[in-house]
């Protein structure tokens, strides 16, 4: 019996995503914006519908059957997320709204109480605003300093300079696992090891990594890992913050309210166990259910198989776009995820995006919430095509053809 993996059947995968069957502006939809948000497969849509139709009630402490069913579904999703990340314990899995909220939680509950003047937080020059602004806020609140390790013209982290900026003053290192604007995959194992040897804690922003890479937080050794469900073919409004149990245990809660308490009196309240201490208020229950289904779906396809498929598309698109006169690819790192940012001379990215949309090709244009990256490359914006498990070579050729039309218009 052969043990070879079945070839990746993208035609079958596409049938799982009903949204892709539609026409946009009279053309079949070519969806090249998965880095902004992935589409949802039937498995996720059905799991959410099933939950909402048959099992919904509020979670925790309910004695009636529906509340118990909802609690089981929600806590089952937590166990699913634990397995997805290979975390040691469910206590390390905090449900949040998304990457942004996960990073803000660490900023306010870990960094703010612990850091002060003389302390440093180290990030890189390619971060998303979600991994910049929360740290700037902490600096304003505590007097600590934000340091930024530079990138080079290929969009790679200058590792030597990064290592040079790591000192005994560095208390926290917060870096993207994969850059959303450039596609760069960062050497996170090396970063974690170097940061830890200086005594700094490490948060990884995994928003762009989770759809393309199997994540093992124990192997990575990071202290925190944050990601959003909607980049992973799951619902919006749900994400996960992984945190090492010892750290989460020591951290004070960051939002107060129902569910995060054990006892409340007007004199003093005591807090719930992990992870509920960080989950004040009614959570996004159906979102968690949908996220768990998305994890099942992606692992069912095989994350490595999906990544290999996307890498083939990235290589094809890179080769095809490189041939277009006046087109410049922004972000040419040696190791990239399925993100292709570019500019076309004489054509503002927004105009380009509009022309492509009229051809049914959905790309993203703008600063991609990474204004410092645009400043570094001295451009106002880029056009960005990004690939997911459902994209095809035909999608790449549709992009190339639509870019040809744009060139005719802007001559």
**Does 33 help bind ligand PMP (rule: CB under 6 A)?**
no
Determine contact, residues 34/13, Cβ cutoff 8 Å.
Answer: no
| Number of neighbours of residue 5 by Cβ within 10 angstroms | 10
Task: Give the residue, chosen from 207, 220, 344, 363, that forms a contact with ligand PMP under the rule CB under 6 A.
Answer: 207
Q: Which of 89, 56, 65, 101 is nearest to 289 (CA)?
A: 56
- Beta strands at 120-124 and 170-176: parallel, antiparallel or unpaired: parallel
What is the closest distance, in whole angstroms, from the C-beta atom of residue 387 to ligand PMP in the complex?
15
Distance CA 298, CA 6 (A): 15
Q: How many residues of this chain interact with ligand PMP, rule: CB under 6 A?
A: 13
Nearer to ligand PMP, 139 or 203 (CB): 203
Nearer to ligand PMP, 157 or 402 (CB): 157
Instruction: Kindly list the catalytic residues.
Output: 369
Nearer to ligand PMP, 111 or 327 (CB): 111
Query: In terms of C-beta density within 10 A (0-12 exposed, 13-18 middle, 19 or more buried), how is residue 305 classed?
Result: middle
**Does 222 help bind ligand PMP (rule: CB under 6 A)?**
no
Query: Which DSSP state fits 109?
Result: I
Here's the x/- map for ligand PMP, 44-83, by CB under 6 A: it reads as ----------------------------------------
Query: Which DSSP state fits 68?
Result: H
Q: How far is C-alpha 337 from the geometric centre of its chain's CA atoms?
A: 12
Nearer to ligand PMP, 38 or 275 (CB): 38
**Does 205 help bind ligand PMP (rule: CB under 6 A)?**
yes
Task: Give the residue, chosen from 34, 39, 165, 180, that forms a contact with ligand PMP under the rule CB under 6 A.
Answer: 180
Determine contact, residues 271/253, Cβ cutoff 8 Å.
Answer: yes
Task: Give the residue, chosen from 48, 176, 202, 338, that forms a contact with ligand PMP under the rule CB under 6 A.
Answer: 176
Determine contact, residues 167/142, Cβ cutoff 8 Å.
Answer: no
**Piece of 25-33, 94-102, 287-295, 371-379 that binds ligand PMP (CB under 6 A):** 94-102
Distance CA 269, CA 275 (A): 17
Task: Give the residue, chosen from 208, 286, 382, 391, that forms a contact with ligand PMP under the rule CB under 6 A.
Answer: 208
**Does 128 help bind ligand PMP (rule: CB under 6 A)?**
yes
**Does 284 help bind ligand PMP (rule: CB under 6 A)?**
no
Nearer to ligand PMP, 239 or 275 (CB): 239
Distance CA 27, CA 17 (A): 17
Q: Which of 165, 122, 116 is nearest to 144 (CA)?
A: 116
* Residues in the chain, overall count: 411
Element housing 191 (H / E): helix 188-197
**Piece of 146-154, 188-196, 204-212, 281-289 that binds ligand PMP (CB under 6 A):** 204-212
Task: Give the residue, chosen from 228, 272, 286, 341, that forms a contact with ligand PMP under the rule CB under 6 A.
Answer: 228
Distance CA 402, CA 409 (A): 11
What is the closest distance, in whole angstroms, from the C-beta atom of residue 104 to ligand PMP in the complex?
9
Positions touching ligand PMP (CB under 6 A) are 98-100, 128, 130-131, 176, 180, 205, 207-208, 228, 369
């Amino acid at each position: 019996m052969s043990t070879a993996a079945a070839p990746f059947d993208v035609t079958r995968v596409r049938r799982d995503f009903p949204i892709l069957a539609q026409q946009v502006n009279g053309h079949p939809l070519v969806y090249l914006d998965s880095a902004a948000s992935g589409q949802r497969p039937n498995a996720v849509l059905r799991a959410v519908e099933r939950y909402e139709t048959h099992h919904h009630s509020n979670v925790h402490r309910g004695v009636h059957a529906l509340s118990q069913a909802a609690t089981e579904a929600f806590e089952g999703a937590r166990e699913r997320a634990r397995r997805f990340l290979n975390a040691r314990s469910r206590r390390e899995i905090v449900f949040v709204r998304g990457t942004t909220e996960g990073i803000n939680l660490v900023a306010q509950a870990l960094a703010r109480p612990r850091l002060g003047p003389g302390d440093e937080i180290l990030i890189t020059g390619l971060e998303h605003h979600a991994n910049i602004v929360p740290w700037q806020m902490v600096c304003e609140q505590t007097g600590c300093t934000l340091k930024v390790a530079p990138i080079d013209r290929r969009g790679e982290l200058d590792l030597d300079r990064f290592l040079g900026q790591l000192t005994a003053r560095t208390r926290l290192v917060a870096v993207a696992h994969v850059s959303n604007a450039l596609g760069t995959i960062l050497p996170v194992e090396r970063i974690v090891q170097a940061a830890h040897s200086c005594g700094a804690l490490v948060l990884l922003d995994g928003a762009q990594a989770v759809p393309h890479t199997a994540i093992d937080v124990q192997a990575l050794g990071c202290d925190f890992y944050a990601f959003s469900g909607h980049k992973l073919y799951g619902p919006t409004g749900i994400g996960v913050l992984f945190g090492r149990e010892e750290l989460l245990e020591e951290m004070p809660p960051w939002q107060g309210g129902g569910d995060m308490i054990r006892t409340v009196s007007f004199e003093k309240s005591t807090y719930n166990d992990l992870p509920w201490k960080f989950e004040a208020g009614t959570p996004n229950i159906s979102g968690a259910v949908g996220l768990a289904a998305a994890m099942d779906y992606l692992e069912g396809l095989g994350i490595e198989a999906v990544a290999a498929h996307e890498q083939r598309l990235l290589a094809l698109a890179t080769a095809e776009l490189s041939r277009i006169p006046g087109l410049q690819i922004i972000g040419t790192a040696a190791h990239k995820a399925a993100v292709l940012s570019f500019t076309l001379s004489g054509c503002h990215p927004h105009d380009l995006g509009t022309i492509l949309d009229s051809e049914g090709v959905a790309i993203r244009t703008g600063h991609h919430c990474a204004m410092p990256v645009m400043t570094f490359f001295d451009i106002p914006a880029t056009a960005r095509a990004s690939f997911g498990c459902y994209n095809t070579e035909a999608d790449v050729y549709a992009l190339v053809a639509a870019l040809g039309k744009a060139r005719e218009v802007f001559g």
